[in-house]
Structure 1
């Protein structure tokens, strides 16, 4: 089979891994990256951002961390690790920086024919048999100029946080316009850069809405800048606990949440009767695990 050209959108972690495996399979990958750096969300995080997991739980299977990196690496260490990975597997030369994908068009069989297919591509082949279709990929460069590339296949590696902040909707006159202070998204704070962000936060009373990774990063950043004099307030919908490590009374979280068994505890889209029944029967274990670890938190 002739070597196929595959377009990869995004040079974050997923894009780097995709490019690496495409090269190993003999394809010709082209990675389109809108920014000037690999790394995705790790390229411009808040200064205090670090992994919330130990290094050994966040690594490529074929590229371990340096022995000097222990615990939960900070964002600079993560970027150095990703850059080393890209160099090791010769990925960088396939990345086109400063080129944002603004259009994708599939040129091939019409919609009516595709809807009649029982198999992907009509044949079960990812490339639709003998070159029946191609993708026209339109990219916009930093100077505003546009180019079109023809690809045999396209892989989207944009991630969940590709420059699109998730803003909740508010009823009329109940949103940011009714608030006397400044309302920004965590992405906006990260884009400011460390020095500008520090100046923006310094001396202000900050309220963070949410309790996931970005919210905790913002709270940590505010704590580093303002200290105890102006503590940051977090507003969350449900009570949550942050534990100092991945064990409680000597029992590791991994036995419950980091294995295949944990997947059986929750209902999933498209699940069959057996998986649905298992999730229903095993769901009380979720509350049992949460109660166990919450009890530990209250006693430490």
Structure 2
């Protein structure tokens, strides 16, 4: 039997796991990621970013944190080194193509793809169609089409597309005399550029989520009392972690396979549909922040 070709989009935590799993099943995976390094959202963060969850609750089951990492909440750099070590240990790097933009995905085959394949219930060979994945190498500007038996999307919740508010005409950033950027743009700057960007300026951060508070703290530490940072938010409320709504820890709910019941799946039966609907209030809503300078 020919080795099945699998394309995985995204080299973050989910993409690395998908790659390792495909290899363990005898498939031939290829992982594409636009960034120059593996790690997903950990590649571009502000310099003070740390892991929000205690490290024993945020590790691969078959690859624990090294003893050299003594911090309960590791730094961004420690997180990246951990992910690189994981990829090296399981020999995933030869299957990963970085600085590769997936521009289109199309399916060539029967009009009805068997959705039972989505959760791995049946063998992948039951599909007679092929996927065409168009990928551009951003270093050489060359484009290539890859043929795959299966495609796995591991893009994540907070990747590449900022959530910008809509403003009435004449009342948006176009009339603002300063510089308005999204937190995603700020996080993409290297440390020196970010510091130079806010140094000596009055900064207003719009948003009361974790990203907004992290950026406000960093800006305040750069400018000190001479140029205080202002946070603007809609209403006063207690700031609790999104994994502990109403002060009730939900960590063990999210960090196990029970969390799969919280989302709807293609082709799900009545029971799974009912469970996902009833448990939907437990799904935390993503928050975004915007910084104005």
Q: TM-score, with normalisation over the residues of structure 1?
A: 0.77
When the two chains are superposed, the root-mean-square deviation of aligned CA atoms in Å is 3.3
Distance 1:197 1:275, change over 3 A: closer
In 2, distance between residues paired with 1:87 and 1:19?
12
Map of 2:129 onto structure 1:
133
In 2, distance between residues paired with 1:195 and 1:274?
45
Matches within 5 A, 1:39-78: 39-69=39-69, 70-78=71-79
* Aligned length, in residue pairs: 265
Q: In the TM superposition, what whole-angstrom CA distance separates every residue of 1:97-130 from its partner, at most 9, and x where no partner exists?
A: 12111010101013xxx18x78559xx746361x
Map of 2:289 onto structure 1:
none
Does structure 1 residue 202 correspond to structure 2 residue 199? Answer: yes
Q: CA deviation at 1:204?
A: 1.1
Match of 2:208 among 211, 224, 228: 211
Name the larger-Rg structure: 1
Distance 1:14 1:120, change over 3 A: closer
Distance 1:274 1:4, change over 3 A: closer
Map of 2:290 onto structure 1:
none
List structure 1 segments (4+ residues) > 3 angstroms apart after TM superposition.
117-121, 124-128, 238-244, 267-271, 273-276
Q: CA deviation at 1:94?
A: 0.6
The one of the two structures with greater contact order (alpha-carbon pairs below 8 A, sep at least 6) is: 2
Q: TM-score, with normalisation over the residues of structure 2?
A: 0.79
Q: Secondary structure at the match of 1:225?
A: helix
In 2, distance between residues paired with 1:170 and 1:201?
24
Q: Do 2:117 and 2:124's aligned partners in 1 also have CA atoms closer than 8 Å?
A: no
Matches within 5 A, 1:1-300: 2-69=2-69, 70-110=71-111, 114=112, 125=122, 127=124, 129=126, 131-142=127-138, 143-242=140-239, 256-260=249-253, 272=274, 276=278
Distance 1:28 1:185, change over 3 A: same
Q: Do 1:32 and 1:95's aligned partners in 2 also have CA atoms closer than 8 Å?
A: yes
Q: CA deviation at 1:207?
A: 1.1
Structure 1 unaligned spans of 5+? 248-252, 284-300
Structure 2 unaligned spans of 5+? 265-271, 283-293
Q: Do 1:44 and 1:190's aligned partners in 2 also have CA atoms closer than 8 Å?
A: yes
